[in-house]
Amino acid sequence: MAPGYTSEWHPQAHAWVRSVAEVLEAGVVLLVDYGFPSREFYHPDRDQGTLMCHYRHRAHTNPYVHVGAQDITAHIDFTAVAEAAMESGLEVLGYTQQGPFLLALGLTESVRHDEEGPTRERLALTQELKKLLLPSEMGELFKVIALGKNVAAPLAGFALSDHRERL
């Protein structure tokens, strides 16, 4: 990285994944968060990192103002999570964006029973679905990674889109 490059580092992520692997005999761990594979997380254009603060519906990057009264967040490096999982004996079973994951699980079909409801409720539900699914909203920003042990079948949530090769 170039001098002056700033990024977040998650030193406990590897230990957390290892502790999960130690107790999981068979099953799947789904992690849903915003983040990127390493080559995007450490992209030269992201030289100030991903840390964001939110105070009274306004975003900024200074975690030292409004201490205790603001939300502070940062993206995660999904490649580092996948590497920690494999080093700990877990398999990476899938990696995709939230939108395709929820669509593959049938989210839109599960809410169709509300089509007969009042117009205001249907419009509100449509807006909520858009927020979860659209690429310009949470549908692409949030990613889903599945880590597992002793799981034989492919996971339905990754049937439309699986980008493990990007990790």
Residue 17 sits in a domain of what CATH number?
Answer: 3.40.50.12710
CA dist., res. 73 & res. 139, Å (int):
18
Residue 1 domain-assigned (yes or no): no
> Which residue, 8, 51, 35, 5, is CA-closest to 167?
35
Residue 3 domain-assigned (yes or no): no
Q: What is the pTM of this model?
A: 0.89
Joined together, the tokens standing for residue 89 give: 């004996």
CA dist., res. 102 & res. 26, Å (int):
23
What DSSP state is assigned to residue 25?
S
> Does an H or E element contain 159, and which?
none
pLDDT of residue 1: 72
Residue 20 domain-assigned (yes or no): yes
pLDDT of residue 145: 98
Residue 134 domain-assigned (yes or no): yes
Residue 116 domain-assigned (yes or no): yes
Contact 102, 32 (CB under 8 A): no
> What φ, ψ does residue 28 adopt, rounded to 5°?
-130, 140
Residue 4 domain-assigned (yes or no): no
Q: Which domain holds residue 148?
A: 13-166
Contact 35, 75 (CB under 8 A): yes
CA 165 to chain centre: 16
When divided into structural domains, the chain yields a total of: 1
Each residue of 66-84: pLDDT tens digit?
999 999 999 999 999 999 9
Q: What is the mean pLDDT of the chain?
A: 93
Contact 98, 55 (CB under 8 A): no
pLDDT of residue 108: 87
* Sheet-wide strand order for 142-149: 76-77, 27-36, 142-149, 91-97
Residue 159 domain-assigned (yes or no): yes
Write out residues in the chain with pLDDT < 70, as ranges: 112-117
> Does an H or E element contain 116, and which?
none
